Amino acid sequence: MLLAIADDFARGEKTETVVTWDERLGLFPLSNIDARVVSSPAEEQALFRQLVQWADATLVIAPELDAALTERRRQVDALGGRYLGPDLDAIRLCSDKLATCQWLEQNNFPTVPTHALSMEGPPPPPEAFPVVLKRRDGAGSQGMQLVSNETEWTLALQDASQTGPLDRLVWQPFISGRSVSCLVLIAMDRSQLEVFPPADQRLTEDRRFSYQGGRLPAELFDATRGVIIQTARRVCEDLSGLRGFVGFDWIVPESEPAHPLIVDVNPRLTTSYIGYRALARENLARRLLADSSQWETIRWGDSIVAFRPDGTVAVTRPPQREEQ
């Protein structure tokens, strides 16, 4: 994802793109980008602060975990930088799965019910199983697991307690269906927004739901696709602090495919950008820097794009129809 977005920024005229790069990753593979190599978290933090003050704009790639994204946003504000992404309050809200669910429910958006855990609280009622246990600030399926009954629940909590307090966890009912995502690009002045075509997500089937990439555009009924696009648009319009790239995760219930549910609102660029840039007939990153009054509807190709988190992309052309 870093290489994809950095390469797209660098392709613009009169733009110098600078990134930080962990020395453990080896040589930086792109020659058109100024990669500043760091050898420790402390060195990266110091360099980040310098670059924020030097740059005209900063885009942060960081997870919601342990308030990492929130803290970077706060640093950019404190240093007087221009942050290409949501406001601090919007990041705080969307980084908290329980708070996000409550906001969505209060504003009548379809979402998966989300329940808090307490250190001494009871397990979900027997009729609630199976459930999905996850971190309240989770990102990328980290810490997720499927729990089928009270015995598994006890074991899951014992496992989860090794990595943090239980009150940082939430549980949701398991809903059988398809995992789908979409990315939204919102102008920094919020005057325009574009919802990208929904994408299928590939998750492992080992009860951990590890993210393996996706395929786009997703094969959905037109009605389902329309609900996803319109609902994502309304959420972005109503949640006033959202700007830049925002990702949505959905579940399309097997029993009610016409009623997709929001699972997460990700206040950041998501891995799916790797696939979208291959499908788009324009530079998506450059649009974020452009005058929003000059935006036109994004032109998408008619190919099928499969992508993986490591940046691997496979583009398949649709079969040509034979002329009658």
Enclosing domain of residue 283: 2-110+175-312
Whether residue 320 is contained in a domain is answered as no
**Residue 34 pLDDT:** 97
End-to-end CA distance of the chain: 43
Whether residue 146 is contained in a domain is answered as yes
Q: State the pTM of this model.
A: 0.94
**Averaged pLDDT for residues 263-280:** 97
The yes-or-no verdict on residue 58 having pLDDT over 70 is: yes
Whether residue 321 is contained in a domain is answered as no
Give pLDDT tens digits for 285-298.
Answer: 999 999 999 899 99
Percent of the chain beyond pLDDT 70?
97
Quick check: 214 and 235 in contact, CB under 8 A? no
Cα 251 to Cα 30, 204, 233, distances in angstroms? 36, 15, 17
Domain boundary, last residue among 128, 153, 173: 173
State whether 301 and 265 are in the same domain: yes
Query: What is the rounded distance in angstroms from the CA atom of residue 129 to the CA atom of residue 148?
Result: 5
Query: What is the rounded distance in angstroms from the CA atom of residue 107 to the CA atom of residue 86?
Result: 19
State whether 166 and 85 are in the same domain: no
Q: Supply the CATH number for residue 297's domain.
A: 3.30.470.20
Whether residue 318 is contained in a domain is answered as no
Residues in the chain: 324
State whether 300 and 156 are in the same domain: no
Look at the chain and report how many structural domains it folds into.
2
Domain boundary, last residue among 173, 193, 210: 173
**Averaged pLDDT for residues 300-309:** 96
**Residue 119 pLDDT:** 66
The yes-or-no verdict on residue 129 having pLDDT over 80 is: yes
State whether 198 and 236 are in the same domain: yes
Whether residue 323 is contained in a domain is answered as no
- Scan for tokens 């940046």, then name that residue: 311
State whether 129 and 179 are in the same domain: no
Query: What is the rounded distance in angstroms from the CA atom of residue 144 to the CA atom of residue 41?
Result: 26
Confidence of residue 324 (pLDDT cuts 50, 70, 90): very low
What dihedral angle (degrees, nearest 10) is formed by the CA atoms of 55, 59, 63, 64?
A: 90
Whether residue 317 is contained in a domain is answered as no
Percent of the chain beyond pLDDT 90?
83
Query: What is the rounded distance in angstroms from the CA atom of residue 221 to the CA atom of residue 34?
Result: 44
State whether 99 and 226 are in the same domain: yes
**Residue 161 pLDDT:** 82
**Residue 45 pLDDT:** 97
The yes-or-no verdict on residue 323 having pLDDT over 70 is: no
State whether 88 and 190 are in the same domain: yes
State whether 47 and 195 are in the same domain: yes
State whether 184 and 278 are in the same domain: yes
Confidence of residue 165 (pLDDT cuts 50, 70, 90): confident
State whether 143 and 212 are in the same domain: no
Confidence of residue 166 (pLDDT cuts 50, 70, 90): confident
When the pLDDT of each residue in the chain is averaged and rounded to a whole number, the result is 94
Confidence of residue 117 (pLDDT cuts 50, 70, 90): confident
Domain boundary, last residue among 151, 173, 195: 173
State whether 156 and 8 are in the same domain: no
State whether 223 and 263 are in the same domain: yes
Give pLDDT tens digits for 183-232.
Answer: 999 999 999 999 999 999 999 888 889 999 999 999 999 999 999 999 99
Give pLDDT tens digits for 38-54.
Answer: 999 999 999 999 999 99
Neighbours of 230 (CB within 10 A): 11
The yes-or-no verdict on residue 164 having pLDDT over 90 is: no
